[in-house]
């Protein structure tokens, strides 16, 4: 796969000062209203939003846009065995405006696939292993016309993108809490790199501060 045959990828998250995107119980109520407005504005600029299955199970988000006019986009969920509830908001809420794509592996049950397809959901198979093959998905997305993709977590999915150096830009809100907890979800989970030299490096483009929140924008250091 050629490097340019993939969407431009923006990672967006709100985290505590100590780098957590949810507490150990899964509380991710970190953004204030202004932050949500900015995130929704960013959503108007992309062709798709991708999240991991745990984010659907914990938050049941609609992944929609309030506050702004827009043309809709794909909601994309990475869920190897197609295990999210069929009545999740990403399936039932305004599918005509935000069509949903479920990315699965070859191992998902045919019956579940049919159930979801009957709700108008598009199924994309990528990978035969335990997890969805992320690089393989990129070509599919590109072919669907997804040129800009917003990666909205959680930490496990963020790692899968960072690991393959697939993040082009980052928009990060730092909220004024320290939540702690080794079981609280960090911005990037997974195994991590062994050294700084192996890790992708980013260039700081902008820092905004308001009401105790800081918003940081980074770009990949080419």
Ligand X SMILES: NC(=O)c1ccc[n+]([C@@H]2O[C@H](COP(=O)([O-])OP(=O)(O)OC[C@H]3O[C@@H](n4cnc5c(N)ncnc54)[C@H](OP(=O)(O)O)[C@@H]3O)[C@@H](O)[C@H]2O)c1
Binding site for ligand X (CB under 6 A): 13-14, 21-22, 26, 28, 30, 51-55, 58-59, 78-81, 83, 131-132, 134, 152-157, 160, 185, 189
Instruction: Choose between 177 and 202: whose C-beta lies nearer to ligand X.
Output: 177
Smallest distance, Å, CB 210 to ligand X?
18
Q: Report in angstroms how near the CB of residue 212 gets to ligand X at its nearest.
A: 16
Residue 48 or 154 having the CB closest to ligand X: 154
What region, left, alpha or beta, does residue 65 occupy, with left being phi > 0 and alpha being psi -120 to 50 degrees? beta
N- to C-terminal Cα separation, the chain? 19
Minimum distance, C-beta of residue 186 to ligand X, in the bound complex (Å): 8
Among 139, 48, 61, which residue's Cα sits nearest to residue 99? 48
Measured CA to CA in angstroms, residue 221 lies from 50, 82, 114, 197, 218 at distances of: 23, 36, 43, 13, 9
Q: Which residue has the closest beta carbon to ligand X?
A: 154
Which residue in 7, 58, 16, 9 sits closest to 35, CA to CA? 16
Structure tokens at 191: 């195994």
Closer CB to ligand X, 144 or 172, in the complex: 172
Structure tokens at 105: 């592996």
Shorter beta-carbon distance to ligand X: residue 66 or 222: 66
* Nearest distance, CB of residue 102 and ligand X, angstroms: 10
Least distance between ligand X and beta carbon 128 (Å) = 12
CA angle 186, 188, 189 (to 5 degrees): 80
Residue 58 or 197: the one with the smaller Cβ distance to ligand X is 58
Q: Which is nearer to ligand X, 191 or 197 (CB)?
A: 191
Cα(128)–Cα(147) distance, rounded to whole angstroms?
26
CB of residue 220 to ligand X, shortest distance in Å:
20
């Amino acid at each position: 796969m050629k490097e340019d045959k993939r969407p431009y990828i923006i990672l967006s998250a709100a985290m505590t000062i100590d780098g957590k995107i949810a507490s150990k119980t899964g509380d991710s109520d970190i953004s204030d209203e202004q932050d949500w407005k900015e995130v929704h504005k960013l959503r108007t600029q992309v062709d798709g939003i991708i999240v991991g299955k745990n984010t659907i199970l914990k938050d049941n988000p609609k992944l929609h846009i309030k506050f702004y006019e827009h043309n809709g986009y794909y909601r994309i969920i990475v869920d190897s065995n197609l295990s999210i509830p069929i009545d999740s908001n990403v399936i039932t809420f305004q599918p005509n405006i935000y069509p949903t794509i479920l990315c699965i592996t070859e191992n998902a049950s045919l019956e579940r696939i049919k159930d979801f397809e009957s709700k108008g959901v598009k199924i994309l198979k990528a990978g035969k292993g335990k997890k969805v093959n992320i690089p393989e998905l990129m070509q599919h997305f590109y072919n669907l016309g997804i040129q800009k993709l917003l990666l909205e977590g959680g930490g496990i999915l963020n790692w899968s993108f960072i690991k393959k150096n697939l993040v082009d830009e980052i928009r990060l809100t730092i909220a004024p809490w320290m939540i702690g907890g080794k079981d609280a979800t960090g911005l990037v989970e997974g195994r991590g790199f062994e050294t700084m030299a192996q890790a992708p490096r980013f260039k700081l483009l902008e820092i905004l501060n308001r009401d105790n929140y800081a918003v940081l924008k980074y770009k990949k250091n080419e």
